[in-house]
């Protein structure tokens, strides 16, 4: 259905659509408008497809395309990343019942995100698993509350994981907020965030939510997660690289002569970004590598991406001065977008803690780690 042979044309088309549909609404999105109709246009142009099996798992292309979205709007790029990784889960699942959902998901006829922060942190021994599943006839009954999950709404869905009661394993499933299950799920407003307000982020409350066999992505799921975790993290580079590209654009608009005295200039930041993108693209060639050294490399690139996003957006604000500090200016917005890149799971602190564990360092409590 999509053709990605002409990579440049595909990427240019995503840029053009982002400029046409997202750029005029970027402030509204920052303040809470969830741009589903705009993201549908990007989905129809193939943004959610290159990394799928059908298109030879072109993770590089999916990441570069999402960076073009993030260059315009970091919040939108976060939402599109959520959508991309939900597609990854459906695509890599062995459960053929999920094929029809993948078909609508990849062309943005249906929408859904990912609730994997808590499980990822649980596997990294940062916090306990929140959702619990009790086996029942033909499936599971799941309960628990996830505090903030993005790109969800009634009639949408997300990938979620629950710990199976009495077993040393979990079930990874499609959590659908469909009308038939009213009462089993509730979605609640979150507090106002300093950014990402338009990401459709809500609190999920599940009370005996029935998961049927047709909804199961993987169970047992440890091997499945080991296979996809590198791709999950690597794809976040699309958000980070986009925010950095946008910050470099902002720097180029600064006109003060005194800007020459700032440490980080457009040229030096571009060199750093190009290096990081090259590493990302190289890692994206083996997205399902399970060796821990691969995952360590992915975590390292992801951490460097977050740090560079912080540095580049701060530099853009310093370059534009008061003009960039105006509430409608992009530098102040991008600073908040970069903060999110740095704190969303895996946050910089989680990456360091997890890398420490993976490198086989003696187990230490986090507090000791930083002394
Ligand atoms: C705008 C936004 C959108 C997000 N979207 C998603 C999403 O789509 N999918 C997803 O899975 N996650 C999402 N998250 C969660 C995010 O990835 C982090 O996991 C989350 O912000 C908590 O990480 P942390 O580093 O603050 O927690 P840590 O500092 O690592 O947590 C430390 C401890 O604090 C506890 N803790 C964490 N949060 C709370 C809380 N609210 N109240 C009480 N105790 C708490 C934890 O149990 C943990 O033990 C989103 C968060 C935000 C702010």
Residue range 298-325: average pLDDT?
97
Task: Compute, in angstroms, the gap from residue 22 CA to the centroid of ligand 1.
Answer: 27
Is 110 in contact with 104 (CB distance < 8 Å)? yes
Task: Say which residues have a Cβ less than 8 Å from residue 180's Cβ, sequence separation at least 6.
Answer: none
pLDDT value, residue 368: 44
- Number of Cβ within 10 Å of residue 170's Cβ equals 25
Beta strands 132-136 and 139-149: pairing type?
A: antiparallel
Domain range list for the chain? 7-105, 112-220, 223-363
Nearest by Cα to 154 from 218, 219, 200: 200
Tell me the angle at which helices 99-106 and 74-92 cross, rounded to the nearest 10 degrees: 150
More confident residue, 343 or 182: 343
pLDDT value, residue 254: 82
Is 121 in contact with 350 (CB distance < 8 Å)? yes
Task: Compute, in angstroms, the gap from residue 121 CA to the centroid of ligand 1.
Answer: 9
Task: Compute, in angstroms, the gap from residue 182 CA to the centroid of ligand 1.
Answer: 26
Is 146 in contact with 118 (CB distance < 8 Å)? yes
Is 309 in contact with 338 (CB distance < 8 Å)? yes
pLDDT value, residue 362: 57
Q: Which listed CATH number (2.40.110.10, 3.90.650.10, 3.20.20.70, 3.40.1190.20) goes with 112-220?
A: 2.40.110.10
Helix, strand, or coil (residue 309): helix
Q: With a threshold of 0.85, does the pTM exceed it?
A: yes
pLDDT value, residue 255: 84
Find where tokens 């999105």 sit. Answer: 29
Task: Compute, in angstroms, the gap from residue 16 CA to the centroid of ligand 1.
Answer: 34
Task: Say which residues have a Cβ less than 8 Å from residue 327's Cβ, sequence separation at least 6.
Answer: none
- Number of Cβ within 10 Å of residue 370's Cβ equals 10
Residue nearest (by alpha carbon) to ligand 1 atom 16: 344
Pocket residue to mutate for ligand 1, from 130, 344, 369, most atoms within 8 A of Cβ: 344
Find where tokens 């994981």 sit. Answer: 161
Q: Which of 125-129, 144-148, 242-246 has the lowest mean pLDDT?
A: 125-129
Tell me the angle at which helices 330-343 and 74-92 cross, rounded to the nearest 10 degrees: 30
Find where tokens 């006109």 sit. Answer: 255
> What is the Cα–Cα distance from 210 to 334, expressed in whole angstroms?
40
Task: Compute, in angstroms, the gap from residue 147 CA to the centroid of ligand 1.
Answer: 7
Q: Which listed CATH number (2.60.40.10, 1.20.120.1730, 3.40.30.120, 1.20.140.10) goes with 223-363?
A: 1.20.140.10
Helix, strand, or coil (residue 103): helix
What lines the ligand 1 site, CB under 6 Å? Answer: 82, 113-118, 126-127, 147-150, 193, 196, 199, 201, 343-345, 347
Confidence grade of residue 361 (pLDDT, cut at 50, 70, 90): low
**Phi, psi at 132, each rounded to 5°:** -120, 145
Question: What are the Cα distances from residue 287, in Å, to 99, 126, 172, 233, 353?
Answer: 21, 24, 20, 10, 22
pLDDT tens digit sequence for 253-301: 988 899 999 999 999 999 999 999 999 999 999 999 999 999 999 999 9
What's the mean per-residue pLDDT of the chain? 95
Tell me the angle at which helices 222-234 and 266-283 cross, rounded to the nearest 10 degrees: 150
Same CATH topology for 7-105 and 112-220? no
Q: How far apart are the first and last CA of the chain?
A: 54
Residue nearest (by alpha carbon) to ligand 1 atom 14: 148
What one-character DSSP code corresponds to residue 158?
E
Buried b (16+ CB within 10 A) or exposed e, 34-46: bbbebbebbbebb
The number of the ligand 1 atom at minimal distance from the alpha carbon of 120 is 11
Find where tokens 């009495």 sit. Answer: 166
Task: Say which residues have a Cβ less than 8 Å from residue 2's Cβ, sequence separation at least 6.
Answer: 46, 49, 50, 55
What one-character DSSP code corresponds to residue 140?
E
Q: Which listed CATH number (1.10.540, 1.10.10, 1.10.3470, 2.40.50) goes with 7-105?
A: 1.10.540
């Amino acid at each position: 259905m999509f053709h990605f042979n002409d990579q440049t044309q595909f990427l240019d088309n995503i840029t053009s659509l982002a400029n046409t549909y997202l750029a005029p609404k970027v402030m509204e999105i920052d303040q809470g408008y969830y741009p589903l109709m705009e993201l549908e246009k990007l989905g129809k142009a193939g943004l959610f497809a290159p990394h799928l099996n059908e298109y030879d798992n072109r993770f590089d292309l999916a990441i570069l395309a999402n960076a073009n979205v993030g260059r315009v709007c970091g919040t939108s790029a976060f939402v599109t990343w959520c959508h991309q990784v939900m597609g990854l889960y459906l695509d890599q699942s062995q459960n053929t019942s999920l094929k029809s959902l993948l078909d609508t998901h990849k062309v943005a006829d249906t929408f859904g995100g990912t609730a994997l922060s808590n499980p990822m942190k649980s596997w990294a021994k940062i916090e306990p698993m929140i959702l619990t599943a009790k086996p029942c006839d033909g499936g599971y009954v799941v309960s628990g509350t996830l505090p903030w999950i993005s790109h969800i709404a009634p009639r949408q869905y997300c990938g979620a994981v629950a710990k199976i009661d009495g077993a040393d394993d979990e079930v990874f499933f499609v959590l659908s907020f469909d009308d038939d299950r009213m009462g089993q799920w509730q979605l609640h407003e979150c507090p106002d965030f300093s950014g990402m307000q338009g990401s459709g982020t809500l609190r999920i409350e599940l009370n005996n939510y029935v998961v049927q066999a047709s909804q199961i992505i993987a169970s047992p799921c440890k091997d499945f997660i080991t296979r996809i975790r590198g791709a999950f993290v690597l794809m976040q580079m699309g958000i980070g690289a986009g925010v950095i590209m946008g910050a470099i654009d902002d720097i180029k608009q600064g006109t003060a002569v005194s800007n020459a005295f700032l440490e980080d200039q457009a040229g030096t930041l571009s060199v750093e970004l190009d290096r990081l993108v090259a590493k990302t693209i190289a890692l994206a060639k083996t997205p399902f590598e399970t060796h821990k050294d691969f995952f360590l490399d992915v975590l390292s690139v992801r951490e460097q991406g977050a740090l560079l996003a912080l540095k580049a957006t701060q530099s853009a604000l310093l370059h534009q001065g008061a003009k960039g500090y105006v509430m409608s200016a992009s530098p102040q917005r991008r600073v908040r977008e970069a903060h999110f890149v740095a704190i969303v799971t895996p946050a910089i602190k989680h990456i360091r803690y997890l890398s420490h564990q993976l490198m086989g360092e003696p187990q230490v409590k986090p507090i000791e780690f930083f002394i």
